[in-house]
Chains A and B, each alone.
Chain A
Amino acid sequence: MNKVTNRQAVCDILMTAALNDRNIVVLCSDSRGSASLKPFAEQYPEQFVEVGIAEQNLVSIAAGLAACGKKVIAASPASFLSTRSYEQVKIDVAYSRTNVILLGISGGISYGALGMTHHSAQDIAALAALPDMRVYLPSDRFQTAKLMEALLRDEKPAYVRVSRSAAEDIYDENLDFELDRSHILSEGPDATIVACGEMVPYAAKAAEILKEAGIRAGVIDMYCLKPLDEKAVLKAARRSRLIATAEEHSPYGGLGSLVAQALSAHCPKKLLAIALPDGHIIAGENKEVFAHYGMDAEGIAARVKQALTGV
């Protein structure tokens, strides 16, 4: 079982990149520990800025640094980064096209029993609605590393959401990665489950469960939410009887909505959208919560089977 979290994978990449690039600057809002960025702050104190508990300031300062040639990573809990500083993200990063990677840590319901204040179930919808903003939810540590390497090579705004706990490995170091695409893990004529972020391992397990029940389901790891890899979605839709989406997000404006938009425009198809409910999320560890809402592997498999067979 992998113990390395995606946030640690981010820190490792930044540590390596900063060796040869003085322009990489990391900002935290009293969040260096929860972002796993303490090693970076210790090794590169001149390339690290502590902003204190002030997420709006975090994002605007990041934009100012970027406007003067810095490649900035602004890290803060996804809940606060995506909504409290939304105005600053909209104006100073997206509209101004500054070279800032917004790193939303402890995304989705990572904080579990801390409650609604700390959940970020709106971030895909909010960030994807901003022109010039790209949205990524990597699945495992290898993909997270490749994603960060790729984002450090370009100079455009991006939002990256990672979770708090370690995700199961899906790939390895040899992963062939391209920005703004998706990874097809498997193909299935009966159903294709399109998942993002740390729901991908659940989707992969669901496909295995379905296989045992005689249902051939494929899985797409849609790590890039915007721009969405529509080609992959449409290819799957032409091949599969059912498209399902699985995401740790509100049912509005997330992966399900984006996939539905692509399908309805180009290849109308029955869609099963699996997401968090539009309501206050029950307290608990994320595994418990996913099971409660039918979003764990068993839940996803059961809902896909039900959608296909009626039972």
Chain B
Amino acid sequence: MDQLTRIAYKLRRDIIEMAHNSSAGHVGGDLSVIDILAVLYFDVMNVSPERVRDPDRDRFLLSKGHCAGALYCALGEKGFFDKQEALLTFGTFGTRFIGHPNTDVPGVEINSGSLGHGISVGVGMALAAKMDGRTYRTYVVLGDGEMAEGSNYEGMMAAGHYRLDNLCATVDCNRLQISGQTKNVMDSGSLADKFRDFGWNVIEVENGNNCSQLSKAYRRAGDCKGKPSAVIAYTLKGKGVSFMENQVSWHHGVMNDEQYRQAVRELSEVSLRETGAETCPKAGRFQNAPPDFFRVQSEVSLRETGAETCLKAGRFQNAPPELFRVQEELLT
């Protein structure tokens, strides 16, 4: 497993944690867009928590703002704030980690959540860069259901008109929205053709959950001069959790405890399998498993059971039997 995929799966586990803790969020879309966010934040964009006010930083806008949970996980992982605060307080009374991006959260550039604003705001940011002779790039991420908003097309038109090659829009094309399949709810036809007609460079990514394919697409976008670029990423809603994948009910579904455990198990299996750990577990002992595995599992399981446990790598003291059972199942 490459480093970016590893990060994406770590973020998936965070998304599941956040969604389960809060019984809120848009977990299906979070899981479809997370590879895009992982690649942008950990491979492509020039952003860091130390430079949140740097005028030369790249700008990121989550136009499909309802996937704020995924954005908070990526920003937290990047170090913009204590990720645990986001995981534990998302969607709760008085939190700054509300259900749509807002600038009280470090790293969020502008408030969003009302769909169809991102491209136009991005046009403004890209125009500002041109006016000031700065080289930063502006990245906007949209959903395919969102493309029914007419304001998108005003923004696309202006970006093409002003040849904003420092602007890159990505459509997280998971083909589902809250009421069903996007093509049945409101068929927007070929998004690639629409972007092209407005003068954009279009890059289609066959597997929008494949970090390597996404990285290549963003490199091509960066190399394109004289036109804005659109990355149309064909993704899977709920990607990584079997019972959520391509299921419209998980647009903003809430997991029960059993579903949560299954999601954690599946995502951990992927991580272990992908990282190639050959592990022979005995109750309370894991050999050669990656440290991150223990961190996630212990945080999840121990908090759930309320055990006060002192964790060391590979050893659990005072952990309840259930934890070991789950772990063993995972590894056998």
Chain A interface (Cβ < 8 Å from any Cβ of B)? 22, 25, 46-47, 49, 51-52, 54, 56-57, 60-70, 87-88, 90-92, 95-98
Contacts and interface: CB of A to CB of B under 8 A. Distances in A.
B296 interface: no
Contact of B121 (A51, A61, A70): A61
A54 B112 CA distance: 20
Contacts of B125: 64-65, 67-68
B313 interface: no
Interface string B112-125: 11100100111111
B276 interface: no
Given A46-B131, A88-B120, 5 more contacts: A54-B157, A64-B120, A64-B126, A64-B127, A88-B151
Interface string B97-110: 00000010000011
Nearest to B155: A57
Residue of B111, B112, B129, B132 with highest tally of chain A CB at under 10 A: B111
A144 to B, nearest CB: 26
A63 B114 contact: no
Contacts of A67: 59, 109-110, 121, 124-125, 128
Given A54-B157, A65-B125, A95-B111, A60 B117 contact: yes
B193 interface: no
A65 B124 contact: yes
Interface residues of B, number: 29
A51 B129 contact: no
Contacts of B126: 64
Nearest to A46: B131
B140 to A, nearest CB: 10
Given A25-B131, A67-B121, A70-B128, A60 B55 contact: no
Contacts of A51: 158
Contact of A62 (B124, B129, B155): B124
B187 interface: no
Contact of B124 (A22, A46, A63, A87): A63
A63 B124 CA distance: 7
A102 to B, nearest CB: 14
A47 B131 contact: yes
19 contacts: A22-B131, A47-B131, A49-B127, A56-B154, A57-B123, A60-B123, A60-B151, A61-B120, A61-B158, A63-B124, A64-B126, A65-B124, A67-B109, A67-B128, A68-B125, A68-B132, A69-B55, A95-B111, A96-B111
Contacts of B110: 63-64, 67, 92, 96, 98
Contact of B122 (A22, A46, A64, A69): A64
A180 to B, nearest CB: 24
B124 A60 contact: yes
Residue of B121, B126, B161 with highest tally of chain A CB at under 10 A: B121
B64 to A, nearest CB: 14
Contacts of A66: 124
Interface in B150-181: 151, 154-155, 157-158, 161
Interface string B303-319: 00000000000000000
A97 to B, nearest CB: 8
Nearest to A51: B158
Contacts of B132: 68-69
B154 A64 contact: no
Contact of B151 (A52, A57, A68): A57
Contacts of A61: 120-121, 123-124, 127, 155, 158
A96 B103 contact: yes
Contacts of A56: 120, 151, 154
Contacts of A69: 55, 128, 132
Nearest to B119: A60
Interface in B51-101: 55, 59
A98 B110 CA distance: 9
A87 B129 CA distance: 25
8 A-B pairs with the lowest CB-CB distances in the bound complex, closest first: A64-B124, A60-B120, A68-B128, A57-B154, A64-B121, A61-B124, A65-B124, A54-B154
Nearest to A63: B121
A171 B155 CA distance: 42
B126 to A, nearest CB: 8
A92 B59 contact: no
Contact of B111 (A22, A46, A57, A91): A91
Contacts of B121: 60-61, 63-64, 67, 92
A54 to B, nearest CB: 4
Contacts of B154: 54, 56-57
Contact of B117 (A46, A92, A97): A92
B149 to A, nearest CB: 10
A91 B123 contact: no
Contact of A65 (B55, B114, B117, B127): B127
Contact of A52 (B59, B138, B157): B157
Contacts of A22: 131
A93 B55 CA distance: 20
B154 to A, nearest CB: 4
A237 to B, nearest CB: 38
Interface string B277-319: 0000000000000000000000000000000000000000000
Contacts of A97: 103
B158 to A, nearest CB: 6
A306 to B, nearest CB: 47
